[in-house]
Amino acid sequence: MFFGKWKLDFEHPTHWGIENNLHRQLDVSFREDESRKREGYAAQNFSMLNRIALNLIRHEQSKKRSVKGKRLDAGWNNNYLLKILMN
């Protein structure tokens, strides 16, 4: 769709849409926006760990649960946690 000189492209996901979905998922599943880590590199380090954990959980396909549900299962069941980590 064109609007004057600018092209408005609503049909294709853009980088910002993907980036916004990632931040939304991190906030919903890991409550990143409520984090109180402010000293040194703590916020950056935990953000990286959360992204790694999110990718590991997303790739685990044996259970059809939400990311939050899979996190709960991994917290309750060490075998399931190891399954996620070994994937």
| Spatial separation of the C-alpha atoms in residues 1 and 79, rounded to whole Å | 51
Q: Where are the domains of the chain?
A: 2-86
Strands (E), the chain: 2-3, 6-7
pLDDT value at position 7? 56
Whether 77 has a pLDDT exceeding 90, the answer reads yes
Beta bridge partners of 18: none
Q: Report the candidate in 78, 80, 50 with the shortest Cα–Cα distance to residue 65.
A: 80
Average pLDDT for residues 57-83, to the nearest whole number?
92
Summarize pLDDT for 16-65 with one digit per residue, the tens: 565 667 777 777 777 776 677 777 788 788 888 888 888 899 999 998 99
Q: Within 13 Å of residue 80, how many CA atoms lie on the same side as its CB?
A: 15
pTM of the predicted protein model: 0.66
